[in-house]
Amino acid sequence: MNRLEKLEKRWFELVGKPRSKEEIEETLSLGRELELERALEYKAIKPELERIGINITSIWELVNAKERYPKALLIP
């Protein structure tokens, strides 16, 4: 399990049930860390996506797009 997966797992554990001030603060902190990790992943794949003609400014553009990107699935 990589760092992003660990952060997501813990965030999902807390997000539905933060009870204490500490859990709420941890949830918010994890949210910020998750965004940073996702930005790093995006930075790593952006050149590969551009190489195959997919130009995005955020990974969420792929997630929320109505179009499909089958060429992106072929990137090794």
Write out pLDDT tens, residues 13-71.
Answer: 888 776 889 988 988 899 999 989 888 888 888 898 898 888 888 877 877 878 877 77
Query: Please, what is the angle between helix 21-51 and helix 3-15, to 10°?
Result: 140
The rounded distance, in Å, linking the Cα atoms of 25 and 18 is 9
Tokens found for residue 3 = 């760092």
Whether the Cβ atoms of residue 10 and residue 17 lie closer than 8 Å to each other: no
Tokens found for residue 42 = 């995006």
What confidence score (pLDDT) does residue 76 get? 57
Of residues 73 and 64, the one with the higher pLDDT is 64
The rounded distance, in Å, linking the Cα atoms of 10 and 26 is 9
pTM: 0.61
3-state secondary structure of 69: coil
